[in-house]
A = this chain, B = another copy of it.
Amino acid sequence: MDHPSSPAEWTRAAGALLGTMRARVPLVHCLTNHVVTNFTANVLLAAGAAPAMIHDPEESSIFAGVASALLVNVGTIEREQAEAMRRAVAAANAAGRPWVLDPVAVGALPLRTHVSSDLSAQRPAMIRGNASEILALAGAGAGGRGVDATEGVDAAADAARALAERTGAAVLVTGPVDLVVAPGGAEPVRVANGVPLLTRVTGVGCSQGALCAALCAAADGDARLAAVAAALLVGIAGERAAHVSERPGSFAVAFLDALDEIDGAAFEAEGKVLA
């Protein structure tokens, strides 16, 4: 396919991908952290996809081949979940289904760092993280103090490019401006949508990982476009929700409403792609 090159081409292509996703209603198998399971499921449903969370290692390996895509988020990883993740990734790869890695808080914490590093070599379609996490996974940083981004997205640009080349994955680095890089010398893309309130609701970033997986399931191999679409969808939904409320409780409710409301036309009218 022809790759988008102008901002208008990017928002149009991303909007078309959102429509394809909704038409397919991809079933996303989420191996994610205990804090965000409910919110992640509601984010997927609001956006037009379907969630499934299967934890048992044996069931997980079977189900990864049934689902349309897989999310692996290491936010509250434990040893048994690590085993379920390894088996689910192998099953997804065997079935040709895309999978997304969200290496939450890698760096100082050993189990997640070890598992994320191992899994990054198992052909993820996309890796999503903040600058600290991408730096740590690429081997260039020591990690942040947890889920906060303590470094700007540009500090991670070289690390993201190296990680993309090494793993074959598109890399979505999240921050006030999001950065998408991809292997093969592709031009980086930046998305400037979003509001600070998005960081005051737990699980927004983690559930974006699930949206990345849902969009990958509709993107027929173009994970770079899926990353741009995921950045636009969360950023625009945040902006619309902030128009409804500037307090975090009602903002979170409005965010879910906005995910349901936004369509391709909204991407074209409100998307801020810097390509």
Contact = CB atoms under 8 A, between A and B. Distances in A.
Interface of A: 27, 33-39, 41-42, 45-46, 50-56, 58-59, 62-63, 66-67, 75-80, 105, 108-112, 145-148, 199-203, 245, 247-250, 252-257, 260-261
Nearest to A36: B38
A111 B58 contact: yes
* Identical subunits present: 3
Contact of A42 (B27, B66, B252): B252
B35 A248 contact: no
A109 B62 contact: yes
Contacts of A77: 55-56, 59
15 contacts: A27-B146, A35-B51, A36-B38, A42-B202, A51-B202, A55-B77, A55-B78, A56-B109, A59-B109, A59-B112, A62-B108, A66-B108, A249-B252, A249-B255, A250-B254
Nearest to A45: B200
Contacts of A199: 45
A75 B51 CA distance: 12
A25 to B, nearest CB: 9
A151 B15 CA distance: 32
A26 B32 CA distance: 25
Contacts of A62: 108-110
A136 to B, nearest CB: 14
B34 A55 contact: yes
A247 B255 CA distance: 10
Nearest to A146: B52
Nearest to A66: B145
A82 to B, nearest CB: 9
Contacts of A256: 247-250, 252
